[in-house]
Structure 1
């Protein structure tokens, strides 16, 4: 069978590849949708075990056995999330509800500013008519923001309500921390030893660089932006600062969230919106230009278009978790392609003429 396929013209074999890839991709999507809950639990536990392995190894270096170190880290993590859930989450929900209550007044203020601009332009013989267009656009944007906020609140409560999934994730995280190395070794045995070593090194480097660096960058961005918003007296500074920090986990996320916050503040006051945009943009550029390159480097090797496409696919397949994993997975797939291409080139035997 393979000999027959190898005798076919190259254009025909390449033409057969695309339908097969599409078919296999479609089947994978169907399998993913069927087992989405289990896949989400496993992916979340894998990500948590990867992140928590850092403090576990730190405790191991202090002479603590790995099993005890894992229990200490998990208990500290549960305690930390419980404290955040009791202290931070209520503040965020309160500020989010406050933002939703004030949103109609912000929209009305934005419409008034558009009318004032139209009057100013008319007095100077500039034929500008934007008030009706702006009012309609603001109404649509207000509706979309309210829908999005409702979805966020619903997602938070649904996550908090799924106690069984939460317990399964914690238990699976514990066992991945304890026996994860053996699991990965068994999975990599399907490849030749040299190939397996390259794949493992690429996987480790990709996820280490991305999550280690991206979490640090996002934390710095969130803290600095929050403090900055408090200093310049931006309403709902804590909510907006945390939103920018979370969005900074993803490529293009920080700039998008800063633009949205600036737009909301511009509805209240155009000068406040411009001030927020200018200051937050400067902070973002400092973090992205000074801190991010030292931590992230050019590890992805992905074209910005491919980064954006991977984010869209990740969001479609896995929601928020898909967004977090999209870029490192895409980068790892590219590394796999490079590894297998290199192996294939080495295996090719030159034909003597």
Structure 2
């Protein structure tokens, strides 16, 4: 009787976990929707401070005090942003505009090619509606372009707002580099050491491995495709390299999304060139996955691929693109914290304040 009561209590607890988690996720999405801009600025500032802390430490190792190292790193960051904005940004905007103007004509040309393939299939009595499939695909692409055009216009009109946000992010990152360690140490002390120490260690480990490795691998792909696309005479090389590089930041599925999107866009103009682009990108991706990724990244989360997909979907639903970017390290942090609590170390001591890096 007692055993049956314990089993009933256990199943009751398990049954309540699902609704509670769902309610918390819904509340979190509503909270993020209300403070989305503020949370985005703070999150980007924290990530930037986390990454800039590495060169700050490098300057400290050569004898420069932390305050001076922070000023030097921030000035170098601002200079690099200014150089990129004045050199690459006009080229990217020009190529993006040209690409958007060229896609409707490419869609019309692709329809004519699909008509030829559809006639070929009909002559051989193949039960394939190539023309219908191509028409639906073209309609979807046109709708996405129509939705993207106002967003691009809004981006151009919101340049001043973007400049203000950029300045705000840099200023916040500066103060996080200065005072983030004290804040992080104080927050950890609000949590019982049994939970606070494993949570802090897991958070630092996952965010360190994820952002550092994903950014390095994304830079490799973006920079590697530029000479390859230039040799293949692919138009809009910088735009396509940016698409592939940004998509690489999304773990597990980003590579396929970026390469697939670029291949599809090129196929609208030249299917033979699109095949060469796909082969070249797959080769670079194999180099990235088999040679670079194991050394740079490793198995930093230990998550099952299915849980990675679930984390990405939850992150997309809760916080959009930003949610996708931080979903996997947050999921890895939760798993690492639970594992550390289940298998605790012999002693739990919160590290001294001076040894804690700024929050990620």
Deviation string for 1:149-174 (max 9, x for gaps)? Answer: 54356347546524544333222211
Indicate how the Cα distance of structure 1 residues 91 and 316 shifts in structure 2: closer, same or farther if over 3 A, else same.
farther
Contact 2:70-2:174 within 8 A present in 1 as well = yes
The answer on 1:254 being equivalent to 2:255 is yes
Tell me whether 289-298 or 111-120 shows the greater mean CA deviation.
111-120
- Determine the C-alpha separation between the residues in 1 that align with 2:43 and 2:226: 30
Q: Give the aligned partner of residue 282 of structure 1.
A: 283
Contact 2:25-2:318 within 8 A present in 1 as well = no
Task: Report the TM-score, using the length of structure 2 for normalisation.
Answer: 0.86
- Determine the C-alpha separation between the residues in 2 that align with 1:41 and 1:159: 16
After TM superposition, the structure 1 = structure 2 runs for residues 20-31 of structure 1, keeping only pairs within 5 Å, are 20-31=20-31
Q: Secondary structure of 2:268's partner?
A: helix
Deviation string for 1:198-256 (max 9, x for gaps)? Answer: 32222221111111111111111111112211110111111101210111111211211
Tell me whether 194-203 or 297-306 shows the greater mean CA deviation.
194-203
- Determine the C-alpha separation between the residues in 1 that align with 2:248 and 2:9: 48
Q: Give the aligned partner of residue 196 of structure 1.
A: 196
Q: Secondary structure of 2:317's partner?
A: helix
Contact 1:226-1:242 within 8 A present in 2 as well = no
Shift of 1:12: 2.6
- Determine the C-alpha separation between the residues in 1 that align with 2:20 and 2:127: 58
**Aligned pairs, number:** 339
Q: Give the aligned partner of residue 350 of structure 1.
A: none
Task: Report the TM-score, using the length of structure 1 for normalisation.
Answer: 0.87
- Determine the C-alpha separation between the residues in 1 that align with 2:250 and 2:122: 43
Shift of 1:194: 5.3
Give the gaps of 5 or more residues in structure 2. 1-5, 345-360
- Determine the C-alpha separation between the residues in 2 that align with 1:64 and 1:140: 56
Indicate how the Cα distance of structure 1 residues 195 and 140 shifts in structure 2: closer, same or farther if over 3 A, else same.
closer
Tell me whether 71-80 or 32-41 shows the greater mean CA deviation.
32-41
After TM superposition, the structure 1 = structure 2 runs for residues 172-321 of structure 1, keeping only pairs within 5 Å, are 172-193=172-193, 195-251=195-251, 252-321=253-322
Contact 1:262-1:273 within 8 A present in 2 as well = yes
Give the gaps of 5 or more residues in structure 1. 1-5, 344-353
Indicate how the Cα distance of structure 1 residues 83 and 66 shifts in structure 2: closer, same or farther if over 3 A, else same.
same
Indicate how the Cα distance of structure 1 residues 149 and 324 shifts in structure 2: closer, same or farther if over 3 A, else same.
farther
Q: Give the aligned partner of residue 50 of structure 1.
A: 50
Deviation string for 1:79-115 (max 9, x for gaps)? Answer: 2112211111111111111011110111112112112
Indicate how the Cα distance of structure 1 residues 324 and 25 shifts in structure 2: closer, same or farther if over 3 A, else same.
closer
Indicate how the Cα distance of structure 1 residues 94 and 328 shifts in structure 2: closer, same or farther if over 3 A, else same.
same
- Determine the C-alpha separation between the residues in 2 that align with 1:233 and 1:22: 50
Indicate how the Cα distance of structure 1 residues 24 and 129 shifts in structure 2: closer, same or farther if over 3 A, else same.
closer
Shift of 1:185: 0.8
Indicate how the Cα distance of structure 1 residues 322 and 19 shifts in structure 2: closer, same or farther if over 3 A, else same.
closer
Contact 2:45-2:172 within 8 A present in 1 as well = yes
Contact 1:107-1:139 within 8 A present in 2 as well = no
Deviation string for 1:274-297 (max 9, x for gaps)? Answer: 111112111111111111111111
- Determine the C-alpha separation between the residues in 1 that align with 2:289 and 2:258: 15
Contact 1:223-1:241 within 8 A present in 2 as well = yes
Q: Give the aligned partner of residue 154 of structure 1.
A: 154
Indicate how the Cα distance of structure 1 residues 150 and 310 shifts in structure 2: closer, same or farther if over 3 A, else same.
farther
Shift of 1:309: 2.5
Shift of 1:118: 2.6
Q: Secondary structure of 2:111's partner?
A: helix
- Determine the C-alpha separation between the residues in 2 that align with 1:159 and 1:26: 32
- Determine the C-alpha separation between the residues in 2 that align with 1:302 and 1:156: 40
